[in-house]
Structure 1
């Protein structure tokens, strides 16, 4: 038995894993979906990226979890990657689901070189928050109209400080035992930073034939990948 701690990306909360959690528990594992501060049912709580790292570490420690598989989707790969080194021997593996990965001293927006100024301007113009996407942004991602409507109805603005604060790592990220899940409908595949980490020998690449939100568009397939990662 392992304990999955599941952290969804920007605008989402623990609810995003509703179709994945039962599959993990049915296989005999612990599954602990987590809402980051400032989002969903924790909306209104002041938060930045460091807060989100502590949210994850604190949940692992509060529940006294062992054999932990940390799962970070999209933006959440950044705080999950930092939390992974902070929980020490409790960690079994990290799974990055079509996600950003942290680099010491760099922020989330630093990974958007061509869009950084535009993103920072959008955050400033929205009271310090990153507004959820419009319906058109979900097109071509393998989602039904009903799934898009559900995501949009429950998404909340994302705290801007979580996107602009730099990550803090004390050792090379490539030393972590990790699986990187790339979603093929997004087209380009892993970026140069992830490709370098995969070349280091401790990371494994898995391709999932769906779009950027597989917990909605392919929960069964995603659960199978997570269960397989627990056996490695």
Structure 2
């Protein structure tokens, strides 16, 4: 028999599982919920003494009680914060656990506190700035503050009201105490249930595996399975039937498996560029490569800015990826300098230093005597989209065009970026007459496509000069994924649109 032990996230308790538990039970599973100390329904005790170890002990108590009966496959499900006590308990009872399910939750690591997984950057900074004190509690969110802890997409008004009314204060020690693992938990089969209204889906996770994210590469090598739910952070309240179905399939070993690097096929981003572009010599200075056109110049220039986050260990680095080298060589053959840049967007917290790297590289390109510093275009890709916000908000006179391919134009909910700096959808109203060329992939990931549509709606509202080049059958990264005639023609049209504006 499959036995589910369900562990709720921050501020919540067993009550959130009622509908999901009922559906699992109706399918013949046995279901238990772990009540965590200090969270309303949990065991009573002095709040100051409650930490992550307390909650690990709470989960262990349920595991040990359930495990007394033989012939049961125990599946531990941790939602959000709940994955931390789940992983801690599974590490100590690895032989008794059949599977761990990470429900819209991260991958806890040894020595790292649960605070590191709190989505909101300013909240993390505030809580970590108390000198490490673990006493006291964090008040539950007000009704309009739940998005700081995860997207409320899919929740009815009644469900959001109930979440708010029943929420309990979170003991600070549970967030601040580092998790301690022996490593035994790595042998326990695992499944991730990704809520695409709150963060990346499977396709984006696979992309991160392809570019070498060490943690995700490990998951691919371990054969971790994945499911997607098109909802926000609380699927047990927004879509309990779909969640129950995913949990049952996960317990049976189902789900999507990531493709690892040893599959024998090059990752998508390292496949050939879709156009047959003659090779050109390049000059490398620091983090910038120049592809020079024929003739003495000065020539206009297009600076290509990669997306990400890209792990620092990734090799080759993005400026050597076929998409960027292909575009740079292509525009050089048409009379403009092509420049590719490596920047330090290694995590979603790195946008500020990535913006500094890009700005410095642009000035380096403009200062080259072979470049006409009054005629520059910037072309961004994918996760580099948020970096467009600075240039849209205050476009310099020499910036003649800004382009973006399949960009993320609103930080994804799970990123936790605070403030408005890296939000192109808000910056576009200040773009004035700056021309924007946006290349839209017709088969874009849903979580990214919605940011593009939000940007286009705002651009239309404020009268921004935006030309859309559609690739109807193109996927994210279509230049190396979809070498079709339509995609090739879209690339040519996009380059022509940029160079026309650049030379006007």
TM surpasses 0.5: yes
Equivalent residue number for residue 109 of structure 1: 115
After superposition, the C-alpha distances for 1:60-95 in whole angstroms (9 at most, x for unaligned) are 112325310000000011110111122232211000
Aligned with residue 150 of structure 1, among 136, 145, 162 = 162
Pick from 54, 60, 64 the counterpart of residue 63 of structure 2: 60
Which residue of 2 is the match for residue 32 of structure 1?
Answer: 32
Partner Cα distance (1:182, 1:133) in 2: 23
Distance 2:223 2:160 in 1: 35
Structure 1 partner of 2:144: 136
- Residue deviations 1:79-123 (CA, integer Å, cap 9, x gap): 10111122232211000101133211111123459442223469x
Task: Kindly indicate whether residue 91 of structure 2 is the aligned counterpart of residue 85 of structure 1.
Answer: yes
Conserved 8 A contact 1:198-1:205: no
1:15 positional shift: 0.8
Aligned match of 1:74 = 80
* Secondary structure at 1:72 match in 2: strand
Shift of 1:153: 0.7
Q: Residues of 1 paired with 2:241 and 2:59: CA distance?
A: 24
CA-based RMSD of the aligned residues comes to 2.6
Tell me, in whole angstroms, the C-alpha distance in 2 between the residues paired with 1:180 and 1:107.
20
- In the alignment, the residues of structure 2 paired with residue 9 and residue 57 of structure 1 have an alpha-carbon distance, to the nearest angstrom, of 16
> Residue in 2 aligned with 1:219?
240
The 1:206/1:163 distance shift into structure 2, 3 A limit, reads same
Report the secondary structure of 1:20's partner residue.
helix
Partners of 1:166 and 1:133 in 2: how far apart?
23
Q: Residues 194, 71 of structure 1: CA spacing in aligned structure 2 closer, same or farther, 3 A cutoff?
A: farther
Q: What's the counterpart of residue 6 of structure 1?
A: 6
Match of 1:100 in 2: 106
Question: Unmatched 5+ residue regions in structure 2?
Answer: 254-504
Quote how far apart the aligned CAs of 1:182 are.
Answer: 0.9
Deviation at 1:131, TM superposition (A): 1.9
The higher radius of gyration belongs to 2
Change (3 A) 1:195 1:88: closer
Structure 1 range deviating more: 106-115 or 138-147: 106-115
Partner of 1:181: 193
Once the two structures are TM-superposed, the CA of residue 188 in structure 1 deviates from its matched residue by: 4.0
Q: TM-score, normalised by structure 2?
A: 0.43
Q: Distance in 1 between matches of 2:35 and 2:215?
A: 25
1:202 aligns with 2:223: yes
Equivalenced residue count is 232
Pairing 1:228–2:231 present: no
Unpaired segments ≥5 residues, structure 1: none
Question: SS state of the match for residue 70, structure 1?
Answer: strand
TM-score normalized by structure 1?
A: 0.89
Question: C-alpha separation between the residues in 2 aligned to 1:209 and 1:218?
Answer: 9
Contact 1:100 1:108 in 2 (8 A): no
Structure 1 match to 2:51: 48
Q: Distance in 1 between matches of 2:17 and 2:250?
A: 17
Match of residue 448 from structure 2: none
Residue 118 of structure 1 pairs with residue 130 of structure 2 = no
Q: Which of 165, 171, 188 pairs up with 1:159?
A: 171
